[in-house]
């Protein structure tokens, strides 16, 4: 089915690259992602728990007929890519999360930190020790002329 599917496709798999990135943990990490998404052609997605940044960019070897211009020497990653798993086939190709706009990652960050706060064990409130209003025993002894 793979090859037949490719016959009807405009080479979608040759129109982007996606690179793994660290899962964001801090507010700064999320803010960096907000910056990524301010740029055109950038998406961030999560698949099977792994985070990726995707750059929309057409491979210079994709020909006008949507065939590979360097088929015999195409990179290994292109050889390993299977049509049954590809975007074009749709169906079970689903993201855990897909972010295309900065506002989406901001909303996700808010949820993330709210969940983190809810899951964190509540801090025990330490009973405050009574404050001394004078200088303590040394001062008292000094005042009494003992020291
Ligand atoms: S693998 Fe998928 S995206 Fe790539 S050309 Fe074939 S059908 Fe299109
Ligand atoms: S090398 Fe060929 S198969 Fe690989 S991305 Fe470019 S056009 Fe597509």
Q: How many CA atoms lie within 13 A of 49 on its CB side?
A: 0
Q: Which pTM was predicted? A: 0.76
The whole-number pLDDT of residue 86 equals 76
Q: Cα(17)–Cα(65) distance, rounded to whole angstroms?
A: 20
Ligand nearest the Cα atom of residue 93: 1
Ligand nearest the Cα atom of residue 12: 1
The whole-number pLDDT of residue 6 equals 85
The whole-number pLDDT of residue 73 equals 98
The whole-number pLDDT of residue 100 equals 96
Give 48 Cα–ligand 2 centroid separation in angstroms. Answer: 25
Burial class (CB in 10 A: 0-12, 13-18, 19+), 50: exposed
Give 53 Cα–ligand 2 centroid separation in angstroms. Answer: 19
- Where do the structural domains in the chain lie, given as residue ranges? 2-119
Q: What does pLDDT average to in each consecutive run of 10 residues of the chain (147 residues)? A: 73 94 97 98 95 97 96 96 73 80 98 91 63 54 60
Instruction: Of 108, 88, 76, give the one whose Cα is nearest residue 7.
Output: 88
The whole-number pLDDT of residue 1 equals 44
């Amino acid at each position: 089915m793979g090859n037949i599917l490719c016959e009807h496709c405009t080479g979608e798999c040759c129109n982007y690259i996606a690179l793994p990135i660290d899962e964001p943990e801090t507010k700064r990490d999320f803010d960096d992602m907000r910056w990524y998404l301010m740029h055109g052609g950038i998406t961030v997605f999560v698949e099977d728990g792994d985070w990726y940044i995707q750059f929309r960019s057409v491979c210079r070897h994709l020909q006008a007929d949507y065939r590979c211009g360097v088929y015999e020497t195409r990179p290994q990653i292109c050889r390993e890519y299977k049509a049954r798993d590809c975007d074009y086939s749709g169906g079970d190709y689903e993201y855990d999360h897909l972010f295309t706009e900065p506002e989406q990652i901001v909303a996700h960050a808010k949820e993330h930190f709210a969940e983190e706060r809810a899951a964190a064990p509540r801090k025990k409130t330490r009973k405050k020790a009574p404050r001394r209003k004078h200088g303590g025993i040394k001062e008292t002894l000094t005042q009494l002329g003992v020291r």
